[in-house]
Structure 1
């Protein structure tokens, strides 16, 4: 059973201002969604084909489980993020729509089905993520590695991006994934450190930074990537410090998006950020901090334009070496 957000401790902002969380009734009334925050109702031939493929192979996508607002656009562009290791998570993050509970078993044939689906869909860039499986000795790292290898076997030349849990900081688990040679290693920081007790109660900010640093240390050629949400009550300096921390830990690609409350039982939203604010954050990340690629906008999610992100970051890396 997911804990209600009222039970989550939230430290005050560093400047002493009161926390900006709004009650759910205000969010639906006076603070309704602004005009720029609209996504199309998912439909179209690509969307229907991918949905049929996923159901036929008993696969899950984070696009559906996390209620991504870009599902229609991405699926019609033949891009989907496979969610391996089932659809029940062992953690209870305050922002996430994925089910929390006790996972049942482990499907060792899943990597082959994911590769088969990716081939049927004609993917050139496959994104693999998972729920947290803290009850497994390696957190599911071996299944990530097997999935990468099966995709490589089924679709030579296909780029593979992984979005992993923190594996409780287990270096052997991180190495297992990196040794399978993903093109992009993504682990999301999700929010500023002050908000971790409410947003990611079973995670640690410094541990997530270390996961990213160690992945880059193991393979300097892998693109590392992370992302976070705004609108949870953070202040500007906290955002900038989080961005600096990520860059100092070797992160190449950054994604920044608006937090949208999945249900009344999830953390309430503090406010909507305007498009110009996302543009300013992107400029700071690129011009001041030197990230290789940044996606920043109200509907941006971790895998949004993932193929384009990787290509641009690779071009930037090659240019820097020339």
Structure 2
């Protein structure tokens, strides 16, 4: 029998049985809307899913798949795809959409790069996504740790391609340069939403700083693929999404992802509307017309979903555009 679930939950260890979002506790409860049929997912049950889970546990790793409550975890882990979250499981910011714990993070684990590399090698990953919490408490925002993780993977699994999904490194001079110098294959930084929604949805960030960060990656290394993503269903207007596409193309961003926002709990920003698959298809068509090499737009699209296949498409699209 196939079980359909509306949300994916996990049991917290006893030492983490504290409110995940104490800073959001003052928000009025927002009833979580029932999801339409097109974005419900199967509960994870496959043996390969359990194997992937065991590798993560043995290496004491944190995955954004679990921390963010990603609806695609069953599919991805059943294919031995996982996105690793470095620098701990506690974020220094309090974005209204995010399911990651907020608070004061602990010290950086110096053994984490080797643990990530072991997991990548044991899982035989062709492509890996490395992301992190925001670490505004660190002088470099965690940039050197990103570089160390990249270097460890290169040493332990040299054939694996690497995608990083970084914070904005706001007010961390020189941090971006450290990550780019480590030569990830894809540099991803998500805008998350349109600028008019930043004050409520992403209050600790600055929209045009994020645009400039992506533009700066291309200035430092024109050959590096750049990527960004947004959620829809947060109350944005269609023309705002189209302007965001233009802003990203001005920064020469190669790859755009657009997915449906799903409210993690009553304490989070409410879903203001569910975008239909037909509307997502229209966004995809427009984005390609604006010049993106790769576009992924669907209700269940997430930054790291199908990242390996998408990277292959990116390389092929660039080669075709260059006539190679």
Instruction: Specify if TM > 0.5.
Output: yes
Separation in structure 2 between the aligned mates of residue 316 and residue 169 of structure 1, nearest angstrom: 34
Cα pair distance change 1:306/1:73, threshold 3 Å: same
SS at match of 2:23: coil
Matches of 1:169 and 1:42 in 2, distance apart?
A: 40
In structure 2, the residue matched to 1:149 is: 151
Matched with 2:87 is 85
Deviation sequence 1:296-316 (CA, Å, 0-9, x none)? 000111001101111111111
1-side partners of 2:60 and 2:71: how far apart?
Answer: 22
Match of 1:16 in 2: none
Matched residue, 2:285: 283
| Separation of aligned partners in 1, 2:246 and 2:296 | 16
Residues 1:127 and 2:129 are matched in the alignment: yes
- The aligned counterpart of 1:181 is 183
Does the 8 A contact of 2:83 with 2:128 survive in 1?
Answer: yes
Check whether the contact 1:87–1:131 (CA below 8 A) recurs between aligned residues. Answer: yes
1:86-235 map, 5 Å: 86-235=88-237
> How far is the alpha carbon of 1:24 from its aligned partner?
3.3
Q: CA deviation at 1:60?
A: 0.2
1:75-96: per-residue Cα shift (whole Å, max 9, x none)?
1111100000000000000000
User: Helix, strand or coil: the match of 1:86?
Assistant: coil
Counterpart mapping for 1:54-93 below 5 A:
54-93=56-95
- Computed over aligned residues only, the root mean square deviation of the Cα atoms, in angstroms, reads 1.3
- Taking structure 2 as the reference length, the TM-score comes to 0.91
Give the structure 2 partner of residue 312 of structure 1. 313
SS in structure 2 of the partner of residue 24 of structure 1: coil
- Structure 2 CA distance for aligned equivalents of residues 255 and 157 of structure 1: 25
SS in 2 for 1:168: coil
1:59 and 1:82 in contact (8 A); partners too: yes
Q: Say how many residue pairs are matched.
A: 302
Q: Which has the higher contact order (CA 8 A, sep 6+)?
A: 1
For 2:199 and 2:316, locate their aligned partners in 1 and report how far apart those are by CA, in whole Å.
38
Q: Does the CA contact (< 8 Å) of 2:85 and 2:132 recur in 1?
A: yes
* TM-superposed deviation, 1:290: 0.9
- Distance, in Å, in 2 between the alignment partners of 1:204 and 1:237 is 20
- Partner of residue 3, structure 1: 24
C-alpha contact 2:30 2:269 (8 A) present in aligned 1: no
| Alpha carbons 1:89, 1:133 under 8 Å: kept | yes
Q: Cα deviations across residues 75-126 of structure 1 (Å, max 9, x unaligned)?
A: 1111100000000000000000000000011111100100000000010101
> Is 1:298–2:309 an aligned residue pair?
no
